Structure 1
């Protein structure tokens, strides 16, 4: 038996520069007992141990169960998870997870999802046309945030005359700075709308993901209405957040490296590899969603009792120097970039291909339509959101045109001699 480890207290600095803390923790071992924001858990910071934790049969994701809720409450994490959102395949174990994923995978493999690229391009171009009439913008608010919501509208087949209302509800539901009252009200409206839309698509299927989810079946098994609504909430909550912050993080690194931006603008074929390296080095998911032990286990040479809360740091695992050479450097030419930004094992993100497609198109169109872009230094250095689950910026202020020095122009004009011609 190993000795009880000390509890590492993670302070506010953890959110702004977690990698400095991870480098220190890795020198002392692959897994640590930590407390952050009152939450006590075992934190995995090692690539191989993270993969082991993802597939360990005695680690469960059923956080919405009475047992799961009790364990989260015991470790100060009860408020981290909403039962409506967690009642889906992301927070399920086999055989329930196996059944749900099999049904949902059929829908995600449909033509409605595979052929979405041209519509994403059109949506991106429309947003960019609106954005580029201004000199200063928050790129998250103007582009990265509305793009995935518009794509979700397309996926679900929301009619054009209902899209504005749909976007207004969903924008509030996924906004963690909105008041509880506002989010509750928007959530009720969203739930009611989805119930009505499911009824319409059941009677009149279309070529969209919602129709595919409704008709997807395995023998005589189908998703029931509650499972459908939970899946749609998951699509909104998980699919939206990850794509917004993948786009934002990718753009931030290009703003910090204009030469790379120039190369990708000249040769967009390199953008998919760049997106994959952003997923590894600056991915949008910081810590994987909650897990807990159902029996005593040994993980990373550490004995862990049953009923313990486990968090896996994707951010730390993907910068493990034992797995990736020069892990803190963005290198889109890596020969082997098998990161775990989308998880590992049975819970590997089912929307990974769609997220990559959205981010690739978003960046390709941005570079094509915005020839000059820089960080708006007047707004200060970008800061990271205070979130355990999401690694994303609070805002991304940019200038879309270089500043004009009118004083220099005036001096230049006044210094000229009149022509004698």
Structure 2
């Protein structure tokens, strides 16, 4: 009697969803279960809220979901999306649109984030990093890497890009309170007043338009009518989250991984030309984003050994994909001069991180300055005493 093992696999995957997120790994390491999941067909997962979803963990599957037009971010709007919090809301920013709507909004900012435009900030980035380290050295020998360096560096550079005075206290207060929220409730409370803060920021630019990103967006709304007020506010919120929160986390986590490997710090100090490659490897290695926003299949798609049916959501784990041993040799090791396939730390496809050039610039400036100025850099407390948010 014939037996369809593929049908059994599909049925089993649908009937036994895993509780997700999987839980914390060890420190900043991805959860060890990801290694097992990469060896199996696409997993069915159940988050605390919303509908069940598929979870892609292999590099090839994640790239497919991020770049194939059959997987849609826009289709998530208005659905009971898989999520970790009870509250849900419809968004109008870049992460809730597919082309051509996504293309329309992204094109308004592409010039501001081009390699040429961002390159103009290189000298400012080096100067800002040195100025911050002046304060660290003066206050030493112990320092708060996050509060004294990882937070203010991207804040200074993004204010430069936005055309906002770095000392604009309301803006800085909003960013820092969002960054340091210790509970979901506190973060929600901070998020609820975002419209007021963003409107204030936009009004500030309207009084003194210049050659900066926020001025361009204000003109796109006020003069050209190419974006709505709702889209304008949503874009600024997206930029704040991506430009401050993620870069601050990446700087802090990158230094952590180097500080627990003193030989890596010594090597980079002796060979500073390796810093650009080290930044790319740290972007691969650091586990900042457990999973991305859900994308919905617009038609039946074979993916990772299962049939994803039209209307079903798929989550992708960039952290898991970046540790795929089928793509990266010694994937669980930090190899500062790694070459080969590109990491997925900035995503892939049409939603590839708009601020990738700026993030790379900030990370390089942070590493180069610290390696040059602080040759004896080390953890001030035992590794086991570090607290993670």
Shared fold by TM > 0.5? yes
The separation in 1 between residues aligned to 2:353 and 2:229, in whole angstroms, is 22
Which of residues 172, 189, 204 in structure 2 aligns to 1:197?
204
The separation in 2 between residues aligned to 1:280 and 1:181, in whole angstroms, is 29
In the alignment, which residue of structure 1 is the partner of 2:17?
A: 7
Which of residues 132, 137, 140 in structure 2 aligns to 1:127?
132
Other structure's SS at 1:269 match: helix
Distance 1:212 1:180, change over 3 A: closer
The separation in 1 between residues aligned to 2:241 and 2:40, in whole angstroms, is 35
Distance 1:71 1:318, change over 3 A: same
In the alignment, which residue of structure 1 is the partner of 2:298?
A: 294
The separation in 2 between residues aligned to 1:26 and 1:145, in whole angstroms, is 34
| Aligned ranges 1:337-376 → 2 under 5 Å | 337-376=341-380
Superposed displacement of residue 327, structure 1:
0.6
In the alignment, which residue of structure 1 is the partner of 2:257?
A: 253
User: Does the CA-based 8 Å contact 1:50-1:312 persist in structure 2?
Assistant: yes
Other structure's SS at 1:373 match: coil
Distance 1:357 1:81, change over 3 A: farther
Which is further off, 91-100 or 372-381? 372-381
Matched, 1:54 2:66: yes
The total of aligned residue pairs comes to: 371
User: Does the CA-based 8 Å contact 1:255-1:375 persist in structure 2?
Assistant: yes
Q: How big is the alpha-carbon RMSD for the aligned residues of Structure 1 and Structure 2?
A: 2.7
| Aligned ranges 1:26-105 → 2 under 5 Å | 26-29=38-41, 31-37=42-48, 40-62=52-74, 65-66=77-78, 70-72=79-81, 75=82, 77=84, 79=86, 83=90, 86-105=91-110
Gap runs ≥5 in structure 2: 1-6
In the alignment, which residue of structure 1 is the partner of 2:3?
A: none
The separation in 2 between residues aligned to 1:78 and 1:59, in whole angstroms, is 23
Matched, 1:324 2:328: yes
Distance 1:55 1:80, change over 3 A: farther
The separation in 2 between residues aligned to 1:270 and 1:157, in whole angstroms, is 32
The separation in 1 between residues aligned to 2:170 and 2:25, in whole angstroms, is 37
User: Does the CA-based 8 Å contact 1:287-1:313 persist in structure 2?
Assistant: yes
The separation in 2 between residues aligned to 1:252 and 1:110, in whole angstroms, is 28
User: Does the CA-based 8 Å contact 1:49-1:300 persist in structure 2?
Assistant: yes
Other structure's SS at 2:108 match: helix
In the alignment, which residue of structure 1 is the partner of 2:212?
A: 208
Matched, 1:149 2:155: yes
- CA deviation profile, 1:73-112 (whole Å, cap 9, x unmatched): xx455647654xx321222111101211222213323865
In the alignment, which residue of structure 2 is the partner of 1:280?
A: 284
Gap runs ≥5 in structure 1: 384-392, 395-421
In the alignment, which residue of structure 2 is the partner of 1:268?
A: 272
- CA deviation profile, 1:4-40 (whole Å, cap 9, x unmatched): 41222355345754341111222223x2112344563
The separation in 2 between residues aligned to 1:81 and 1:176, in whole angstroms, is 19
Distance 1:181 1:272, change over 3 A: closer
